[in-house]
Structures are given as C-alpha cells and as structure tokens.
Amino acid sequence: MADLADNAPVASLCLANARLVLADAVVHGSVRIESGVISEILAGAHVPEGAVDCEGDHLIPGLIELHTDNLERHIEPRPEVDWPHLPALLAHDGELASTGITTVFDAMRVGSIQHSTTRYGAYARQLANELLAARAAGVLKISHFLHLRAEICSETLLEEMEDFGAEDRVGIVSLMDHTPGQRQFRDMGAMKTYLTKKRSMTDADFEAHVAHLRGLQDRHGVAHEAGAVREAQRYGAVLASHDDTTAAQVATSHANGVGFAEFPTTVEAAEACHARGIAVMMGAPNIIRGASHSGNVSAADLARAGRLDIISSDYVPSALLLSAFRLAEIWGDLPRAIACVTSNPARAVRLGDRGSLRPGLRGDVVRVRHVAGTPVVRGVWSRGARVA
C-alpha cells in the first residue's frame, strides 16, 4: 500500500540525547531522519549541532492504531447529530497525532439496518471518499488507511462492500457479528444497559430490536460472512475476527483466513488463537481500567498469560500510549510492550515500512517524557515532519 500522498517528508532531522526503544533493548542515542526515512541510529549522549535535544526522554516508533471508533465519534458526536465531515476528519487526525499515533486504520461500519426501532444508515463510502480526498490534498498530519467493519447482522452488507475496491486503501476487513446473545453481547442485561443508554430505548424497543437482529442473522448470516471474506480478498485487505468467544468460533476464523483477532472475549478464545497462530488484539481501555466494560476477559490477565500481541486504543485514542507503558510494568520489558503498539500491528497488516526505529523505515517517531508516573507526549514526527 503506497504512502506517497501522506504529509511531505522533512529533508533532514536529528533527535539526540534520548533513550531509544529498539526491538530488544533501550539504548541512549540519537535518530537521524533524511527525506522522511530513518537513515542512522547512533549510540551516545552527544547532541550534534542543529539536532533536537531530547533531554533523556524516550523515543519510540510512531504508534500504529488498527481499530478505533474515534472517527465515528467525531462525525456523530451525539446520537442523530451529523457533524460536517471534513472538520470531523481534521479534528480526528489532529487528535490522534497529539497522542503519538502516526498510522491509523479508520474504522467505518458497512452493513446497514433500515427496518428496526434503531436504524443505522449507510455512510462508509461517502466518508471514505472525503477521507481519501483530504489525504490527496495533503491536509492530514498522519497516515490513514481504511478498516471496514463488516456487520454480518445487517440488511445491506454486500451491496455496501461492492462499492469499495483495491484502490481505496482498505487495509482491514473485520467480521462483526452483534447478534444478541453471543460474542460481545452474551450478557443480554449488559446489552440492554448499553443500548438503552446510547439510544434511549424503551423495553419494548429493545425487545423488538433483539428480535429483528436475530432474524437478520437467520436470513443473511452465512451469506454475509462468506461474502465479506471474498470482498476482503478482492481488496487485498487483512481479515480480522471480532469478539471470538469459543474455540469453535476461532476455528471458523482460522478457516476464513483471519490474520488477527480483535478483542476475544474469553481465555478459551485467546488460547485457541495462540494455538492457531492468530495474533490477539485487546483494547487499551481494558488494560487501564483493569477490566472489560462489557464484562469480558481482562486484557491484563491475557498479558500475564503471554496471550496478548497487539493493543488498540478502541474508543480512547490517548489510551494507546498509556496502556503500552502499563503493559511494560506487567512484563518488566519496555521493548516488548512498545512492540504491541508498533511493530506487532505493523506486521499484522503487512506494513513493512514502519513500526521500528531502524534505518530504512519511515521516520515516524514519538518523544515521551514521564511526569508523575504518566507517559506524556513531548513531540510527534511523521516522516520526519513534526505533527504534534
């Protein structure tokens, strides 16, 4: 996936006197970036003339975010409030840059529900057009790809997916099945609480909504899942599962060719992913809160069991950096933890040009200082250009 339309690279930059978080060590040194690409890693505290003195702060690779609801939050800041898209895109882009994220796969739902108490209309194709136009115009700070969240339990999934092609920078297609009573919403009480708060449903509305979704699954589930897998192959995108709960569901994900699993809900599912070579991604808010907001498995418990590979900010962009340093405390291994937000997600989506501080890779770098035990972003560079 070419990235030539991202922000213009800076001709030359040196970040010196920093603690560099490399693949397997933390060393005191400097990073030199030429024409947007890391050209040299040098050990030592020397600050060359014209270099940025990082004053002993950490330098880490730019964070890579595979699944974020943040763009949807900006285009619909309140239920039924449709915000102008370009300002929303720019605010989203700037917010992510400020948190150290330099590559994002913007999650957009495909698959609509028109005939229910809660309607979800099609929006992904138009929003993607606007995002790609903003990128081509050079007004975005960081690198953007598309992540299509294929809602199996919907009415129009395949029609909406047909509108995308290999030229659209679709990097991920995730198989989302929110049929009530399984996966994320095994606990119907938790689902009811979530929807009544978010959508102000009455009891009657909720019961009607549940019945409608279950009917959609009965009518379209098998065809939609198979069709979404085919469309991901047509785009050249990586396939992800979502909320796998049982070993049987993981076996199906593996048969579909899934590359990584988003938010498995049980230890059983995470163990099954590990056994089949499927990378496990968990949410940063889960790590920070110490528990899932849906009552599912703790990400920290999976980390302690060695069953956590990738972290996603999910619904709080600033959580990504904080969670990586929390994970470093659990493991006692900062490079391993930083890999969960840099090189591991890059590998999962087949981006070989970023994710590590290494000569030849993109000059995406984040400067981090610790203040009262909290990692604070002190500077962010995308292709050597300062974006925050």
For 250-262, how does the pLDDT look when each residue is reduced to its tens digit (9 = 90+)?
Answer: 999 999 999 999 9
Give the pLDDT score at 291.
Answer: 73
Q: What percent of the chain shows pLDDT beyond 90?
A: 77
Least confident of 138-142, 167-171, 186-190: 186-190
The model's pLDDT over 124-136, given as tens digits with 9 standing for 90+, comes to: 999 999 999 999 9
By C-alpha distance, which of 128, 63, 119 is closest to 380? 63
Give the pLDDT score at 186.
Answer: 63
Kindly list the structural domains of the chain, giving each domain's residue range(s) and its CATH number in brackets, ordered by start.
1-61+356-388 (2.30.40.10), 63-353 (3.20.20.140)
Give me the mean pLDDT over the 162-172 stretch. 97
pLDDT band at 119 (very low <50, low <70, confident <90, very high): low
The model's pLDDT over 55-71, given as tens digits with 9 standing for 90+, comes to: 999 999 999 999 999 99
Give the pLDDT score at 9.
Answer: 82
Give the pLDDT score at 274.
Answer: 97
The model's pLDDT over 350-379, given as tens digits with 9 standing for 90+, comes to: 999 999 999 999 999 999 999 999 999 999
Q: Give yes or no for residue 97 having a pLDDT over 50.
A: yes
Least confident of 24-28, 79-83, 194-198, 244-248: 194-198
Which residues are CB-contacts of 211 (< 8 A; sequence separation ≥ 6)? none
Q: Give yes or no for residue 324 having a pLDDT over 90.
A: yes
CA angle 182, 183, 189 (to 5 degrees): 60
Q: What percent of the chain shows pLDDT beyond 70?
A: 88
Q: Give yes or no for residue 337 having a pLDDT over 80.
A: yes
Alpha-helix residue ranges (DSSP H) falling in 169-246: 188-199, 203-235
By C-alpha distance, which of 300, 312, 306, 318 is closest to 340? 312
Average pLDDT over all residues of the chain: 91
Give the pLDDT score at 71.
Answer: 96
Give me the mean pLDDT over the 109-116 stretch. 79
Least confident of 9-13, 266-270, 318-322: 9-13
Give the pLDDT score at 21.
Answer: 98
Q: Give yes or no for residue 4 having a pLDDT over 60.
A: no
Residue 238 structure tokens: 């990586």
H helix or E strand, kind and range, residue 124 = helix 124-136
d(CA 102, CA 383): 9
